[in-house]
């Protein structure tokens, strides 16, 4: 029987490697773990190192990883090395889903998992919502994924990340190349012109795309591309265009 391991979400601060941390894994059958969740607690560098070396490295059948909201109150400088320890430990695993949301690591943190994105052949779902990516972080993620010819994303989440036009334009190239996207959420990103690139890219996913959320961005100058997307992508079941200022192209 496979195991979905969940660290108790107690908003606990793990500052050191002690019984309070290690006892959670004492009887865990590593070979049976297919899903691993650390969310809603905060981990320092050494606890991350211990979990990476003593737990994650041994979960050879791991497919789904949830590292969301695991660095609350931590100094930003500690986030990239802590995240890199965890990511490196799963780099050789058949990861299908990776959730890094609600961690304010910014572009510096993206460097911690660029190599993973360049080389993981199995990843289908990536969540980097509310990570402070900015345009630079978005471009870094896109560049890394485009180097990986084996990856075919099905779900992508990067809302509240300040991607702006350069970030979403770079990521749109990924979706156009993969042609497999089913679900995308990029709401509240300060995008003004870039949605035109996204809607054009999603035409390549017309046979797969079902869920699109671009809430609270600007569509004003991308109305024609939006209309083409709606007409072409008839498999869409959910489309959120609220607060997007849709107007006729001038």
CA dist 142 to 11, 38, 168, 169, Å? 32, 26, 9, 9
CB 189 within 8 A of CB 215: no
Q: What is the pLDDT of residues 172-191, one digit of tens each?
A: 999 999 999 999 999 999 99
Strand partners of residue 229: none
CATH of 96-250, one of 1.20.810.10, 3.80.10.10, 3.40.50.920, 3.40.50.2300: 3.80.10.10
Q: E strands within 81-151?
A: 97-99, 125-127
pLDDT reported for residue 235 = 96
Q: What is the pLDDT of residue 194?
A: 84
How distant is the alpha carbon of residue 59 from its chain centre? Answer: 21
Q: Which of 199, 205, 198 is nearest to 171 (CA)?
A: 198
Residue range(s) in the chain whose domain bears CATH number 3.80.10.10:
96-250
pLDDT tens, position by position, 99-126: 999 999 999 999 999 999 999 999 999 9
């Amino acid at each position: 029987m496979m195991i979905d391991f969940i660290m108790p979400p107690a908003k606990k601060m793990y500052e050191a490697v002690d019984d309070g941390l290690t006892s959670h894994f004492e009887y865990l059958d590593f070979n049976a773990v297919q899903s691993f969740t650390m969310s809603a607690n905060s981990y320092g560098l050494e606890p991350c190192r211990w979990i990476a070396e003593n737990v994650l490295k041994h979960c050879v059948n791991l497919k789904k990883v949830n590292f969301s909201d695991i660095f609350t109150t931590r100094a930003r400088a500690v986030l990239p090395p802590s995240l890199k320890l965890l990511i490196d430990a799963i780099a050789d695993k058949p990861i299908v889903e990776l959730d890094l949301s609600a961690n304010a690591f910014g572009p510096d943190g993206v460097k911690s998992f660029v190599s993973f994105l360049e080389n993981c052949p199995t990843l289908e779902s990536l969540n980097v919502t509310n990570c402070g990516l900015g345009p630079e972080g978005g471009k870094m993620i896109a560049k890394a994924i485009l180097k990986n010819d084996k990856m075919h994303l099905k779900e992508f989440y990067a809302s509240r990340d300040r991607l702006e036009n350069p970030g979403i334009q770079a990521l749109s190239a990924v979706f156009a190349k993969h042609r497999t996207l089913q679900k995308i959420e990029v709401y509240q990103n300060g995008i003004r012109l870039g949605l035109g690139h996204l809607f054009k890219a999603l035409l390549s996913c017309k046979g797969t795309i079902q869920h699109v959320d671009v809430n609270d961005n600007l569509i004003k100058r991308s109305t024609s591309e939006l209309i083409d997307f709606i007409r072409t992508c008839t498999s869409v079941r959910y489309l959120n265009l609220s607060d997007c200022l849709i107007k006729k192209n001038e």
